[in-house]
A and B are shown apart, each in its own frame.
Chain A
Amino acid sequence: MQPGKAPVLLRVSGLIVACGFAFPGAYLVWHNFTGAADPLDLLFSRRTLEPLGRTLRLAAGVSLAASALGTALAWLTTRTDLPWRRFWRVILPIPLVLPTFIGAAAFIRTLNPGGLANDALSGLGVERTFELRGFFGAWLVLTLFTYPYVYLPVAARLRHLPRALEESARLLGDTAWQAFRRICLPQVTTAVGAGTLLVFLYTVSDFGAVQLMRYDTLTRAIATNHLANPPVALALGLILLLVAAAVVVTERSFSRRRIDFDSGGAGRPVEYRLGRLRAPALGFVVAAALLGVGAPLVAVLDWSVDGLSRSRGGRPLTVDVGTVAESAWNTVSVSSVTAVLAVTAVLPIAYLVGRYRSRVGAGAHAVVISTFALPGLLIALSMLFWTLKSDLAFELFGNTMALLVFAYMVRFGSLAMGVTVVAVRSVPAWLHDAARTLGAGPARRFATIDLPVMGPGLLAGAGLVLLSVMKELPISLLISPLGFSTLATRIFGSFEDAFVAEAGIMATTLVLLSLLLSWFLVIRRADHL
């Protein structure tokens, strides 16, 4: 049966949404070439090339380390007789839901005087303060927090590799190691590649960790210049945009070559015996989990205990419960509103693509998906300049929640897009046919068939957006309305100034919220456990 033509209203709303998503990026490029200074001049000056070099160096270093770490952990937890594999499979993805700036803050905090690690070292008689700053600090934190981008797809691929492939290789005369190298490895390279590019993209757009580690990458240079020297910030933004675009183009060419297996009935994959290597392998996994999950959690907890119990400079620190509660409420409410709006916004496009195969829909879908490469800092920058340059925009949106929520939506709408299309496709056409022959009109069909069937999918999409907005930093920092603060901006701000008592408690709150929500909304449904 051929799908009919999409209703006009649906196509128009799809177009409007796509224009909204395209706007920040387009404005940034356009503004660059209409400004006073020639961006091409600035593009090749030292002021831009040096941060670019640092960004690329950091991204390359992090990608390399994260892909090695992620692949090794994936193999160990899926294909070997490593002890407590199920436990590790639950633990190892956790860094994905922790914001990098909290990770960076936790590491710095714990090595500073008064921090847990510093105290421990003093106890051992080492009276020295380790400064975790610059390239190494940023590299360490970003590696530990981004390896799940490689770990998750590789583990999934390894687990779904049909058992028969390796078994036939063995029957054809390969040793276990040869079968692994000749059959297994080639099958996971695409997963490793795709994951690594995500890590690269994440590192390039990261703002929190490099800012706290004081490593002058593009994002940090943009943030430093955005008020004092807008043309430079814009030119830097353009470069960042180009880098991100290049990464995505590469990623697309990778994913096109992906092979899909029918994983049905594949059975449990072949398992390798680690033998004498079992203890060192376990040590490696424990170390990774301790550094990536344990250390940040312990440091954040210690930090919040600190805030509750200690005084500084003789002055007792009091915790202002109201501030914590207000920031937490702000975070949860703005995230929930954004999540609902984002799913609602992409739903027309999902219908156009999933049900009608409309060409307008395909274009709009491509626009929304491509915004996934747009760093949050650039969206914030673009919106900031827009409200500064245009009087009308300032009148309407300057300093408003609407602008903040819009920026969040553009930043994370692409996360909801994919899930929403799947949700729309999960409603079989024949259910609609059946409902029609039973007398149900369009509104009743939407309410009684579409919504209940799509419900879990839409919820998962909203959950992804919710989680991401909660830990978002640069957009919240740059364009929050005056007096509006989220947990993330509070923690970050307090860290920039000095250690404030509430910061630790807020960090703990944010981490717990993230863990709880990701458990309920994402992990519980995923099949990778």
Chain B
Amino acid sequence: MPRVGHGPVPVLIEGLHHSYGAEPVLIDVELEIFPGESLSLLGPSGCGKTTLLRAIAGLERPEQGVIRLGAVEVTGPETWIPPERRRVGMVFQDWALFDHMTVAGNVAYGLDRSRRRGDRVTETLAMVGLAGLQDRMPATLSGGERQRVALARALAPHPQVLLLDEPFSNLDTSLRMEVRTDVHRLLTDLAITSILVTHDQQEAFVMGDRVAVMSERCIVQVDTPHGLYARPATRGVASFVGEACLLRSEVRDGVAATPIGLVPVEGIGWGTADVLLRPEDLAVVPGDTGTVELIEFYGHDTMVFVALDGQTMRVRTGPDPALRRGQRVGVEFSVARAQAFPARG
């Protein structure tokens, strides 16, 4: 596998502020991406994640703050390097292919005049699995192929950093998984520093060595996918990554008294708290505390909705839980500890 030009570089973002008119879109964003790392930038639409990506690319000039690519300050109070000189590759949400050029024309666009005729184009196309398609027009390609052309075009000039803005959102579900895995494999092989913007938690977890969660124009938490899932920093992150049920309970000496019994918690020792219970932390047991409301079968597992003490608890069970609607059951906490957040108001 051909290696990217000059070795992977880190990206450093400090104190980034930006607004559109009176409307702030980025507030005091701090972020460090390690050399060769894949970082997922996860957040709901409108949280500012695409603006952050565009600021790194230089397509947006932030009002304050510093962005460094490797040792070079590309955005700062005194410095501004325009996007065409940043050597940053970007894959756009709708791929932004040049429809009036061939596939080869698209991929060669970012190359120096001298290298446009060389074998970098064929090499890159082969890398993304599109060997032989160089003379086709983009309009004649399938969605998955267009996506790969966009990726090849961004990778051909050996960018220092690769930015991907919701690159899979235009593919239908079945294709998305397949393309995603291919891209994942490619980025891992290339060991290129990359940032992927997505609003899809699963995508962020799959693609990212680490995940940065953005909410309301700020970065709230940066951690590995596993760390993020297990120890969300806020209630918002908890419910945004994965499915969550928050139960208001009294905590005494690290143990919460919840409607499903006593649960050891971390994060708070005494007082009123919201205890985070993931569906897979729970189990349906014989009992008479709740009623099965709904059963949703997903193939590899089943989600059981149990009405209990005035609220609905979601419990993930095996594929065949042998339950039926209306049945009286109990719910049990099945792991060692749960996360708890101090109750507000």
Which residue numbers of A lie inside 8 Å of B, CB to CB?
1-2, 428, 430-431, 433-441, 448-449, 452-453
Between A and B, 20 residue pairs with Cβ closer than 8 Å are A1-B59, A428-B96, A431-B98, A434-B92, A434-B96, A434-B153, A436-B57, A436-B58, A436-B82, A436-B84, A437-B59, A437-B84, A437-B86, A437-B163, A438-B154, A438-B157, A439-B85, A440-B109, A441-B84, A453-B100
Whether A433 pairs with B90 at a CB distance below 8 angstroms is yes
- Contacting B157 at CB < 8 Å: which of A2, A439, A449? A439
Whether B157 pairs with A433 at a CB distance below 8 angstroms is no
Whether B59 pairs with A433 at a CB distance below 8 angstroms is yes
Whether A436 pairs with B109 at a CB distance below 8 angstroms is no
Q: What are the residues of chain A within 8 A of B88 when measuring CB–CB? A: 437
For the complex, count residues of B whose C-beta is within 8 A of A: 29
- Docked pose: A439 CA to B113 CA in angstroms: 12
Whether B84 pairs with A439 at a CB distance below 8 angstroms is yes
- Contacting A437 at CB < 8 Å: which of B20, B94, B154? B154
Nearest residue (CB) in A for B108 is A438
Q: Closest 3 A-B residue pairs measured CB to CB?
A: A438-B110, A434-B96, A436-B83
Given contacts A2-B21, A438-B110, A439-B110, contact A449 B96 (CB under 8 A): no
Q: What are the residues of chain A within 8 A of B21 when measuring CB–CB? A: 2
Q: What are the residues of chain B within 8 A of A430 when measuring CB–CB? A: 92, 94, 96
For the complex with contacts A433-B83, A434-B98, A436-B57, 11 further pairs of A-B residues with Cβ separation under 8 Å are A2-B20, A430-B96, A431-B98, A433-B54, A433-B90, A433-B96, A435-B98, A437-B59, A438-B110, A439-B87, A439-B110
Q: What are the residues of chain A within 8 A of B90 when measuring CB–CB? A: 433-434, 437
Q: What are the residues of chain A within 8 A of B98 when measuring CB–CB? A: 431, 434-435, 448-449
- Docked pose: A453 CA to B99 CA in angstroms: 9
Given contacts A2-B20, A2-B21, contact A435 B92 (CB under 8 A): no
Interface bits B65-92 vs A (CB < 8 Å: 1, else 0): 0000000000000000011111111101
Q: Is B60 an interface residue (CB 8 A)?
A: yes
Which residue numbers of B lie inside 8 Å of A, CB to CB?
20-21, 54, 57-60, 82-90, 92, 94, 96, 98-101, 109-110, 153-154, 157, 163
Q: What are the residues of chain A within 8 A of B58 when measuring CB–CB? A: 436-437
Nearest residue (CB) in B for A451 is B100
Whether A1 pairs with B92 at a CB distance below 8 angstroms is no
Q: What are the residues of chain A within 8 A of B154 when measuring CB–CB? A: 437-438
Whether A437 pairs with B82 at a CB distance below 8 angstroms is no
Whether A438 pairs with B96 at a CB distance below 8 angstroms is no
Q: What are the residues of chain A within 8 A of B60 when measuring CB–CB? A: 1
- Docked pose: A148 CA to B101 CA in angstroms: 38
CB distance from A509 to the nearest CB of B (A): 36
Q: What are the residues of chain B within 8 A of A434 when measuring CB–CB? A: 90, 92, 96, 98, 153
- Contacting A440 at CB < 8 Å: which of B54, B84, B87, B100? B84
- Docked pose: A1 CA to B53 CA in angstroms: 13
Q: What are the residues of chain B within 8 A of A441 when measuring CB–CB? A: 84
Whether A438 pairs with B153 at a CB distance below 8 angstroms is yes
CB distance from B147 to the nearest CB of A (A): 14
Q: What are the residues of chain A within 8 A of B54 when measuring CB–CB? A: 1, 433
- Docked pose: A391 CA to B89 CA in angstroms: 61
Nearest residue (CB) in A for B50 is A1
- Docked pose: A1 CA to B20 CA in angstroms: 8
CB distance from A437 to the nearest CB of B (A): 4
Q: What are the residues of chain B within 8 A of A431 when measuring CB–CB? A: 96, 98
